[in-house]
Amino acid sequence: MSINRSILRLMLPSVVSNITVPLLGLVDLAIVGHLGKEEPIGAIAIGTAGFNMLYWIFAFLRMGTTGLTSQAHGARRNDECAVSLLRALLAGALISALLCALQGPLFSLISLIMQPSAAVQPYYLTYYSICIWGAPAILCNYALTGWFIGMQNTRIPMIVAIVQNIINIAFSLIFVLVLDMGLQGVALGTLIGMYSGLVIALLSATRLWRKEKLHMPRLEYVLHKNGLLKFLTMNTDIFLRTLCLVSVMTFFTSAGSMQNDTILASNALLMQFFMIFSFFIDGLANAAEALSGEYHGAKDHTMLRRTVLHLFEWAIVLAAFFTFIYIIGGEKILHALTDQEVIHATAYHYMPWIWVVPLASVMAFIWDGVFIGLCWSRGMLISMFISTVVFFAIYFCCFDSMHNSALWLAFACYLGTRGVVQTIIWFRAGTSPKNA
Is the pLDDT at 208 greater than 80, yes or no?
yes
For every residue of 39-59, DSSP letters joined together read HHHHHHHHHHHHHHHHHHTTT
Phi, psi of 233 (to 5 degrees): -65, -50
Stated pTM of the model:
0.87
Q: pLDDT (tens digit, 9 = 90+) per residue, 79-90?
A: 889 999 999 999
Mean pLDDT score, 341-352 = 86
What is the rounded (10 degree) CA torsion for 365, 368, 373, 379? 160
Is the pLDDT at 63 greater than 50, yes or no?
yes
pLDDT of residue 24: 62
Longest CA–CA separation in the chain, Å: 64
Mean pLDDT score, 150-176 = 91
Mean pLDDT score, 243-263 = 82
**3-state SS class at 213:** coil
Q: Report whether 200 contacts 163 (CB < 8 A).
A: yes
Rounded CA-CA distance 185/7 in Å is 41
Is the pLDDT at 433 greater than 50, yes or no?
no
For every residue of 295-363, DSSP letters joined together read HHHTT-HHHHHHHHHHHHHHHHHHHHHHHHHHHHHHHHHHHHH---HHHHHHHHHTHHHHHHHHHHHHH
H-helix or E-strand spanning residue 420? helix 404-429
Q: Report whether 285 contacts 149 (CB < 8 A).
A: no
Q: Where are the domains of the chain?
A: 1-223, 233-436
Rounded CA-CA distance 145/167 in Å is 19
Q: Report whether 156 contacts 10 (CB < 8 A).
A: no
